[in-house]
Amino acid sequence: MTEYEDPAGIGPQLKKYYEEAEQTVYDRDYESASLMYWNLGTLTVTAEDETGMDPVELGIEEMVSEGLVSIDLKRIASLTLYSTYQAYKLPERVPKLYGFFSWQMFQNVGIEDMMSAGRETLQGVEDFLDAWISYLREQDDSYTSRLLIEAVTYRGGDEGLLEEAKREPNHYPELYIRMLERFFEKEEWDRLQKEGMEALSRMERKIEMRDRAARLAAAGAARCRDAAEEMDALCEAFCSKPTAANYFRVITSPGAGKKTENEKTARMLQTAEELQAALQDGEKPREYGLWNRYKRKETDSYRQTDTDRMGICFLSGDYREILKECRKTKDHLGWSGRFINVGVPMLLLFLYEENDIEKFGKAMWSIVSDIQGFIGYQGEFGEPDFEERFLRWRELVKIPEEEKKRIFKYVTETIDQRVESIVGGSHRKSYWKAAKLGAALGEVEESQGKMNGKYLRIQGYLKQFPRHRAFKEEIGAYNM
């Protein structure tokens, strides 16, 4: 952690200069004030390192964050915009103002803050808004949509925002998302469903942000008890963002399980696969690095990950693929970062026969929580919670009894060997991992009808390792 000192008193001097700039605004010398704010905002201070390392350049935002100067950056940003507005006429005023929003201190400031910053009421606001909105439509920065949303809402309210969203849905998809969120906030379910489905028809499937529009449309359809359209919207969410969480939403929606809906799911998977293939063939890889960081745009596409693919395999009941991936790891230590670390718990869940979630064993419930994290599902927009969807999913996945025997043989051998490697090797920091897997295996046995299955499994491990007190405490916590 770097500590800075200011023996030259630069911080107090900067504060004084900003106070002079504000007084210049009140004196209505806007040209001078605008120039002062520009010079102060672009000023950097060089901090010398006493240890001989390279010097560091600090801007005004960094100086504030390091406690070298105490000033109200939002107030300064608002006055900077206000004085610039007053100092310049159209059309020069518009690009001058827009240029400031690339600065960090302007991240949470907008034109409404500008309008209320000074003593005089700004003149020509209507003409400015026309020019400002026209200019914003031609820009493509990370903050453009935020400014456009503010401007069109200020001028035309929610209806103005909706109209603007429909102009260029594939250029500024965030406008559509914000409008749909407002319908959700106001509980206008019919309108949310109608405008949400229209948004999906207008927006290109390859845009990741379209997933959010789809889930909002699904929320509207769910409130209107339109299960078919809810399913359609969730399928579209998956096409735009083919994650395990979105697949989980589709297969546990109210309409899932019917023949026609199963056909929709199959088409959805094919469409998503084709879109991902087209993205891989048609776009250059993004370059990431310390000095060359890729800045995400709201029109970016989603690239499906291996985690997504394996999560979908699990949710679709593809135990063969889960087994295949688990078998690739031959070691029984060093599972962190490897699929087997979640793959074996997935196989245990396939084998677990308990269907009453209130009766789930402590170890298996912990495994369910881990798998929820792997899938990445978090309920949003009034969606069912994970437990509700999880119970629906349990009814869908059926594993043949002969295959269950094969899976059980593999997990028993693998877990026993992992417990042996961890506890026998005295890897104390991993005792909890061995204990959870061992106890979970016992809970599986008990759910399959073995009397006192968990107790017997735990006692077997304790007899195997009678002198490992720390392990006894870890696994004993499950023996309740």
Distance CA 423, CA 474 (A): 11
Digit-by-digit pLDDT tens for the chain (480 residues) are: 678 888 889 999 999 999 999 999 999 999 999 999 999 999 999 988 777 678 889 999 999 999 999 999 999 999 999 999 999 999 999 999 999 999 999 999 999 999 999 999 999 999 999 999 999 999 999 999 999 999 999 999 999 999 999 999 999 999 999 999 999 999 999 999 999 999 999 999 999 999 999 999 999 999 999 999 999 999 999 999 999 999 999 999 987 766 556 687 888 888 888 888 888 776 554 544 433 455 678 999 999 999 999 999 999 999 999 999 999 999 999 999 999 999 999 999 999 999 888 899 999 999 999 999 999 999 999 999 999 999 999 998 999 999 999 999 999 999 999 999 999 999 999 999 999 999 999 999 999 999 999 999 999 999 999 999 999 999 999 986
Same-domain check for residues 241 and 313: no
Q: Is residue 139 part of a domain?
A: no
Distance CA 413, CA 432 (A): 19
Same-domain check for residues 193 and 319: no
Q: Is residue 151 part of a domain?
A: no
Same-domain check for residues 223 and 353: no
Q: Is residue 143 part of a domain?
A: no
Q: How many domains does the chain have?
A: 3
Same-domain check for residues 117 and 213: no
Same-domain check for residues 335 and 427: yes
Residue type, 276: Q
Q: Is residue 296 part of a domain?
A: no
Same-domain check for residues 326 and 466: yes
Q: Which of 89, 123, 157 is the endpoint of a domain?
A: 123
Q: Is residue 299 part of a domain?
A: no
3 state DSSP class of 335: coil
Same-domain check for residues 19 and 76: yes
CB burial of 223-250 (b: ≥16 within 10 Å; e: otherwise) equals: beebbebbbbbbbbbbbbbbbbbbbbbb
Same-domain check for residues 170 and 29: no
- Eight-class DSSP state of 378: -
3 state DSSP class of 276: helix
Same-domain check for residues 107 and 173: no
Same-domain check for residues 386 and 465: yes
pLDDT of residue 261: 63
Q: How many CB atoms lie within 10 A of CB 95?
A: 11
* 238, two tokens: 């998956």
Distance CA 299, CA 173 (A): 7
Its domain, for residue 405, covers 306-476
Same-domain check for residues 271 and 405: no
Helix (H) or strand (E) holding 56: strand 56-58
Contact 268, 260 (CB under 8 A): no
Q: Is residue 72 part of a domain?
A: yes
Contacts of 56 (CB under 8 A, 6+ apart): 2, 46, 47, 49
Give tens-digit pLDDT for 140-172: 999 999 999 999 999 999 999 999 999 999 999
Q: Which of 123, 155, 181 is the endpoint of a domain?
A: 123
The pair phi, psi for residue 56, each rounded to 5°, is: -120, 135
The sign of the torsion formed by the CA atoms of 269, 271, 274, 280 equals negative
Closest by CA position to 112, among listed 74, 140, 143, 138: 74
Q: Is residue 9 part of a domain?
A: yes
pLDDT of residue 290: 39
* 196, two tokens: 């949400």
Whether the pTM exceeds 0.85: the reply is yes
Q: Is residue 434 part of a domain?
A: yes
Give tens-digit pLDDT for 459-474: 999 999 999 999 999 9
CATH code of the domain covering residue 203: 1.25.40
Same-domain check for residues 58 and 118: yes
CA of residue 327 relative to chain centroid, distance: 31
Query: From residue 415, how far is each of 360, 419, 441 by CA, in Å?
Result: 20, 6, 8
Look-up of token digits 């074996």 = 344
